Structure 1
């Protein structure tokens, strides 16, 4: 049977997966004239991890289930940056990536692999990736750009509010989505295709909209991660560091350090199991975990110390979306027609976001994912 493209597409979630899906739907040559695409977002565009994660991109660091999607998506990042000026608009650049062992409890005679780390504390380092396979973006700027590109197309819209109900017809196909609007009241949106891309809220929302029998198979939880953004006196070299630190007081840490082209440095650390709040607006930042990150940063390098002119630009937290089954959920949902999911991308959401959006657009409009093998990611 020939695939019939939908006429009213609802995408729930304006993070990287939702905005990428919206973007690629809106520019697809297979999009029927007059088809309406609506992005529904409970808080704001890039309100969660898509706005507050590090934006590190890796082409070939992935297992067999996600290797094809990740390669596609990495290449899409490069294409989008070239087409739209991503270096200036969202800080796209290729980077060198290193593993670094820091130990302040014993001196080292090794030379530091980067100029802004002290020689005396670096005991080992090795190259994890180079500028052919590693890159970075500012995730919030990138996701926002995609949303703006989408909204510049005809028959597109952004509705701010929480999806509370999905109506299905007798054949199990969507007919409408009810949204509790941010400004109050409800709005019923016509729908014959629905994409659930709600980050760490995907699991709960799937059960709310589809019931336990179907939605319960789309389990995604949230894992809280903290980060800080520092502005250094001088711009640092284009490196992303995965560190192992033994601090002067004997404590341990593994902060990740991503320098950015705007002169800031993003530093994130170990997460915790704080419960997922109802919305991204309700995420709480732990002062204890932020203080730990600041201590690690200032001990790792003098360039991050206030005495060297460094400034703290942001102290933040977000929840990484972790799929219960251990690999992402990308594809058509079984036992219902016209419902799709893009979720559980974990720490690789920014890398895999554009590819997820493209293959979902292909599934929705053409009936088949053509650009990547997502067979092992089927919900």
Structure 2
């Protein structure tokens, strides 16, 4: 029986495991490739699937704390097919599994807010950021790459003006409120609609990941957590095993133990940690994927006076996304969620190591929140790390054997799925589907031919 080992149980790894489990042929009947929901007959898939993750707590980084903003057509041509596929799969999953209730799926309307031209904006005595702050926010520019906005302190709304996205003039003709959400302290004249509910949406990432994990377990995927892969071993017959080390959880007695998993194919979906995993398993490799961890602070909040859309209320069916700028040198983003939360983020850094959590950066975010929303109650504070590749594009590809060195290699190949930057939640379903199809040797549902450079 073929066996695939997926290293990383964040949203990309889970999506890969989920689609591999639904697409792999069952003993009595095959799951329909075009369906995102699995038949109950696939509870014990013939394709053995293992998820391995060393984090003490699952979804502790971007997969649990990211914004959860979903876009269909905000991507450059190289990414456009994957973006469209992912958006359709998000919709499909939500329709099939009660996504609004289970993980806060909702369609969204997006706006760009010009705070300089906002007549209703409060007077702000916020000084411009000094050079150090600009460097921390990543607003020093280097070589132009795709999605450079994420490391230059600019806004992801720039992607909405790409050739593949609809123009604001087109969006303005759609039927949705033009004066923005009621919870936003801004003049309608300062807002410009940049997308409508047909092309943007919102999820709560942690709940979405929990859904995927539940489905994976139901389909027979095995989770090894916390555990890390330490070596590839070759059997006498030429087959390959992955040695994993089960790590001791905090406060749990006992020694670390090892196990070996059969491995026909290997998927590296370890986010920012992919280079370390790659170097560990392929120590003689001539090159290693270049991934930069981009830190992002966020503060999910609840507005104290206004009711937000919620899956338990009869209020508006859609959410809102607000993209703006701040004099201190970064581009705040605000997203309302169907869970009743407002997510505030947009302050990024490519220079800080893992972790700690600088309180002054969170204070800057919360100050912006008070100016744009009013009195808020902070639900939690988070710092997550998003993987950014050297090209600015995700890496979704099978690795050439020559790039693995002269060590042990799985017969079915090694696949990489990382580097999604701030679009990991949006692009995860399509990435998982495509990687699963690669593993199975099928034609992919989206053209990712330009996502193999690293």
Q: Same fold (TM over 0.5)?
A: yes
8 A Cα contact 2:113 2:192, kept in partner: yes
Of 218, 221, 228, 2:292 maps to 221
Moved more, 60-69 or 32-41: 32-41
Q: In the alignment, which residue of structure 1 is the partner of 2:400?
A: 334
Which whole-Å CA distance do the structure 2 matches of 1:168 and 1:341 have between them? Answer: 21
Q: How does 1:1-379 map to 2 (within 5 A)?
A: 7-30=2-25, 34-43=46-55, 44-103=57-116, 113-119=180-186, 124-154=190-220, 156-167=222-233, 175-183=240-248, 184-211=256-283, 213-214=285-286, 216-233=287-304, 234-236=306-308, 238-246=319-327, 251-277=328-354, 283-302=355-374, 305=375, 310-335=376-401, 337=411, 338-365=413-440, 367-378=441-452
For structure 1, which segment, 79-88 or 261-270, has the greater mean C-alpha deviation from structure 2 after superposition? 261-270
**Contact 1:10 / 1:37 at 8 angstroms: preserved in 2?**
yes
From the two aligned structures, give the one with the greater strand fraction.
1
Distance of 1:252 and 1:219 partners within structure 2: 27
Give the Cα–Cα distance (whole angstroms) in 2 for the partners of residues 119 and 378 of structure 1.
Answer: 43
Question: Aligned pair in 2 of structure 1 residues 31, 253: CA closer, same or farther (>3 Å)?
Answer: same
Cα separation, 2, equivalents of 1:377 and 1:253? 28
* CA-CA distance at 1:31 after TM superposition: 5.7
Given that residues 347 and 365 in structure 2 are in contact (C-alpha distance below 8 angstroms), is that contact kept between their aligned partners in structure 1? no
TM-superposed CA distance for 1:318, in Å, is 0.5
1:194-228 CA-partner distances (Å, limit 9, x unpaired)? 100001111221122123635x3422121111000
Local SS of the residue matching 1:148: helix
* Distance (Å, rounded) in 2 between the aligned partners of 1:26 and 1:180: 24
1:158 is displaced (CA, Å) by 3.5
CA contact (8 A) 2:113 2:322 kept: yes
Gaps of 5+ in 1: 1-5, 278-282
Give SS of 1:294's match.
helix
> What does residue 280 of structure 1 align with?
none
Structure 2: unaligned runs, 5 residues or longer: 28-44, 122-177, 249-255, 310-318, 402-408
Instruction: Please identify, of 337-346 and 228-237, the stretch whose mean Cα deviation from structure 2 is larger.
Output: 228-237
Between 55-64 and 21-30, the greater mean CA deviation after superposition: 21-30
SS at match of 2:110: strand
Q: Distance in 1 between matches of 2:220 and 2:348?
A: 41
| Preserved contact between residue 38 and residue 159 of structure 1 (Cα < 8 Å) | no
Q: Which is worse superposed, 232-241 or 161-170?
A: 161-170
Aligned CA distance change for structure 1 residues 104 and 295 (closer, same or farther; 3 Å): farther
Give the SS at the match of 2:64.
Answer: helix
Does the CA contact (< 8 Å) of 1:235 and 1:262 recur in 2?
no
The residue that corresponds to 2:40 in the other structure is: none
Return the alpha-carbon distance in structure 2 between the equivalents of residues 253 and 157 of structure 1.
39
Deviations 1:116-160 (A, max 9, x none): 23346x762211111000001101110111011011123634342
Judge which range, 41-50 or 261-270, deviates more.
Answer: 41-50
Q: Residue in 2 aligned with 1:3? A: none
What secondary structure does 2:356 align onto?
coil
Q: TM-score, normalised by structure 1?
A: 0.86
Contact 2:109 2:320 in 1 (8 A): yes
